[in-house]
Structure 1
Amino acid sequence: MLNIALFGPPGAGKGTQSEFLIKKYNLFYISTGDILRKELAEETKLGLEAKTIIARGGLVSDEIIVQIIEKTIKNNPDANGFLFDGFPRTFVQAYILEGLMIKLNTKLDLLISIEVPEEESVKRLLLRGETSGRLDDNDEVIRNRLREYDEKTKPVLDFYREKGNYKAIDGVQEIKKVTTEISIAVNKEVEKKQLNIVLFGSPGSGRGSLGRAIAEKYNLEFVSTGDMLDEEISKGTELGKQVKEKYDNGQLVSDEIVIQLIERKMKQSNNAKGFIFKGYPRTLVQSYILDGILMKHDAIINKIIELDVETLELVRRLDNRSKTDQCMPYDSSTAKIVQRLEDHTNKTIPVIEKYKEIHDVAVVNGTDCFEDVMGRVSAEIESSFRALD
């Protein structure tokens, strides 16, 4: 997901550049004024609350505005990202947006400020007034608007300048030159982005085979917590000894150990195009851990794929596997197979439901032959690649 805030004083040419950004990067445009008017027109719950406040002569609160923005983002899961115009307007709203982005497991990637000197803005707006007939395009009103913009915007720009995702663009240049510089700045952010995938599916759904094939095809790092734990054991490392002791005592490996392994894997693969996670997260707690790990590395989950296979087919596959040298510990009896499937239902399905609230989870039919399922998964992944282009 690519999220951009576009700033500029009246007359800076934001409208032209907004159209370019929306079309070029497939962004959904969020203007607080537009989405508020939409809520008012549709008389939604939030719209009616806002209408009551406006009728009393009050200003619509940040609390209502942020709820409308969150609703808009959630209602557009297929968007490649969002272009914010008119928000955040104050440094308080900057903090609000940061919190909202964290809640939605994303971030504001870039704030672009089209900078135009006051006299140039005045000249442009007066010229516009000659043809538009707008009563507010006169010298006194224009200068008041510019003064208000400077007073409110400077703290916001300072906020993002300190965060390091602020880019100033000289707005006095020709329009094409401004567009080119904006495009260069945005492309630099796009190049930083990884494609991180979580592959869900019940035991027997084919996650392991598909995960490795996907990693190889798209040059991603395959992250399987089970494989990493087995490798530590086979190498006889200190961590491996701890894991083996837990296995021998029938205990679960702690999240502390798994975190160390995932962190190490990501550090060793810091030039990776992205990661595909199989077998993690299994629980709600682990889903928060993974979000935290990715956020630490300035990354997010871009794609979630769930392999859908009917229960009877899963049991058949696992039973067949139990008769081969690929047998897993939980394949050895029907009772263990059923228990493992129940564990997935009770622990992992809630994780998938959580992600569905903030992601467009792609459910892929995993019943057919490997080539067909691989084709479906590849199509889903390639749509995400196109979104990052």
Structure 2
Amino acid sequence: MLNIALFGPPGAGKGTQSKMLIEKYNLAYISTGDILRGEIAEGTELGLQAKDIIKRGGLVPDEIIVQIMEERIQTDTEVNGFLFDGFPRTTVQAYILEGLLLKMNTKLDCMLSLEVPTDQLRNRLLDRAKKENRSDDTEEVISVRLKEYDTKTAPVANFYKEKEIYHGIDGLGGIDQIFERLTSVVDQTLQKSWINLVLLGPPGSGKGTQGRKLAEQFNLEYISTGHLMRQEIKKDTEMGQSAKTYMEKGDIVPDEIAIRLIERQIRKHPDANGFIFKGFPRTIVQAYILDGLLRKLGSVVTSSINLDVSTLESIKRLTYRGKTEGKRLYDDTDIIIHRLEQFEKRSIKVSNYYSKQDKFEIVNGLGSEEDVFKRLTDVVNKSFKKIR
């Protein structure tokens, strides 16, 4: 998901550039002014409250703004993200936007500010006033509006500068020139965004085989908590000794161990394009943990894919593996059944968690390795297009 805040003083050409950006990146346009006017025109409860406040000469409070924005954001589900025009205007609203987007398991990717010299803005606005016969747009009024913009937006600009997502854009030149500058920054931002895939599916569904192939195909780092734990067991580390007692019984290893291993693995790859997580999360708690781990690094889960195979197929595959050199601690028949029961019991909550965020896909795990991989790459490519 791509979320942009577009700023610019009156006369900077924000409206023109907004239209071009939302078309190029398939974004929903969010303007608090437009939304408020729409609510008032429709006579909604929030619109009537806002109308009454405006009539009395007051400013619509953030409490109403946030409700209106949340409703609008939740209705736009067929877009790749949002373009916020003129919002947030205060640091309080900046925090509100953070919370709204966090609730959707996403974030603001960049704040673009069109920068035009004051004398140029003044000339543009005076010229527009003449053309549109706006007699109240005198030079004095325009100067006050421009000064007010600078005063109000400076703290917000600093807020995003501290987060290192603020980008000042030269607003002089032709429409296409300015648009090229804007898209250059947006495209660079997208390239910096991690692609994080969660590979779900029952034991024996082929997650390991396909996860490694996907990592190679899309230049991502493959993180298998099971593999990391087996390495710790082999080295006879403290974590390995602790994990072994659980893995031998087919039980889920304590979250504290998984967290330490995942964080360590992520730190090893600071220049990664993203990660494929196999074997984690297995529970709803672990899904929240992974969100927290990625949020800490300024990222989110891009998509989750469930490799769908029947219980009988899983048992066949794992029983066969148990007779090969690749046999694992937990490839005993009783433990296989126990692991599958655990999966059935816990997986539905994880699937629902990602499904509610529109980040859940099911892929048929039957067929040749190549056929399954082809299905997976089609789904992953579709996920990539949503954010790039």
Range of TM-score over shorter length? 0.7 to 0.9
CA shift at 1:364, angstroms?
A: 2.2
| Contact 1:367–1:373, Cα closer than 8 Å, also in 2 | yes
Evaluate the alpha carbon distance shift between residue 362 and residue 69 of structure 1 in structure 2; reply closer, same or farther with a 3 A threshold: farther
Q: Aligned residue for 1:89?
A: 89
CA shift at 1:138, angstroms?
A: 3.6
2 CA distance for matches of 1:248 and 1:360?
32
CA shift at 1:23, angstroms?
A: 3.0
Q: Aligned residue for 2:116?
A: 116
| Contact 2:248–2:329, Cα closer than 8 Å, also in 1 | no
Write the mapping of 1:44-193 to structure 2, written as runs, cut at 5 A: 47-55=44-52, 57=55, 59-134=59-134, 136-193=136-193
What SS class does the counterpart of residue 256 from structure 1 fall into?
helix
CA shift at 1:35, angstroms?
A: 3.5
| Contact 2:250–2:338, Cα closer than 8 Å, also in 1 | no
Evaluate the alpha carbon distance shift between residue 306 and residue 42 of structure 1 in structure 2; reply closer, same or farther with a 3 A threshold: farther
1 CA distance for matches of 2:181 and 2:299?
25
Aligned residues: 385
> Does residue 363 in structure 1 map to residue 339 in structure 2?
no
What SS class does the counterpart of residue 157 from structure 1 fall into?
helix
Give a deviation string over 1:328-375, Cα, whole Å, max 9, x none: 555533x65454333223323212212222233222233444333322
Q: Aligned residue for 2:207?
A: 207
Give a deviation string over 1:227-268, Cα, whole Å, max 9, x none: 110011113334323333555688753222211211121111
Q: Aligned residue for 1:372?
A: 371
Q: Aligned residue for 1:196?
A: 196
CA shift at 1:5, angstroms?
A: 0.7
Q: Aligned residue for 1:2?
A: 2
1 CA distance for matches of 2:252 and 2:244?
10
| Contact 1:304–1:359, Cα closer than 8 Å, also in 2 | no
What SS class does the counterpart of residue 199 from structure 1 fall into?
strand
Give a deviation string over 1:68-119, Cα, whole Å, max 9, x none: 4334434444533321102101111011112222332222121111122333
CA shift at 1:157, angstroms?
A: 1.3
CA shift at 1:150, angstroms?
A: 2.5
Give a deviation string over 1:187-237, Cα, whole Å, max 9, x none: 332221221111112223322221122112222111110011001111333
Evaluate the alpha carbon distance shift between residue 307 and residue 50 of structure 1 in structure 2; reply closer, same or farther with a 3 A threshold: farther
Give a deviation string over 1:284-327, Cα, whole Å, max 9, x none: 22122211221222222112212233445445545555555555
2 CA distance for matches of 1:300 and 1:98?
14
1 CA distance for matches of 2:341 and 2:295?
31
CA shift at 1:145, angstroms?
A: 2.8
| Contact 2:250–2:330, Cα closer than 8 Å, also in 1 | no
2 CA distance for matches of 1:42 and 1:338?
58
5+ residue gaps, structure 1: none
CA shift at 1:10, angstroms?
A: 0.8
CA shift at 1:378, angstroms?
A: 0.6
Write the mapping of 1:276-287 to structure 2, written as runs, cut at 5 A: 276-287=276-287
1 CA distance for matches of 2:75 and 2:310?
30
Write the mapping of 1:251-330 to structure 2, written as runs, cut at 5 A: 252-318=252-318, 321=321, 326=326
1 CA distance for matches of 2:197 and 2:183?
27
Evaluate the alpha carbon distance shift between residue 336 and residue 260 of structure 1 in structure 2; reply closer, same or farther with a 3 A threshold: closer
Identity %: 50
1 CA distance for matches of 2:331 and 2:78?
38
Supply the AA of the counterpart residue of 2:227: D
Q: Aligned residue for 1:351?
A: 350
Supply the AA of the counterpart residue of 1:108: L
| Contact 1:7–1:112, Cα closer than 8 Å, also in 2 | yes
5+ residue gaps, structure 2: none
Supply the AA of the counterpart residue of 1:282: R
Q: Aligned residue for 2:236?
A: 236
2 CA distance for matches of 1:372 and 1:120?
60
Q: TM-score, normalised by structure 2?
A: 0.87
Supply the AA of the counterpart residue of 1:362: E
RMSD: 2.8
What SS class does the counterpart of residue 306 from structure 2 fall into?
strand
2 CA distance for matches of 1:388 and 1:343?
34
Q: Aligned residue for 1:341?
A: 340
Supply the AA of the counterpart residue of 2:217: K
| Contact 1:223–1:275, Cα closer than 8 Å, also in 2 | yes
> Which deviates further from its counterpart, 28-37 or 375-384?
28-37
Q: TM-score, normalised by structure 1?
A: 0.87
CA shift at 1:181, angstroms?
A: 2.6
> Which deviates further from its counterpart, 301-310 or 50-59?
50-59
> Which deviates further from its counterpart, 350-359 or 216-225?
350-359
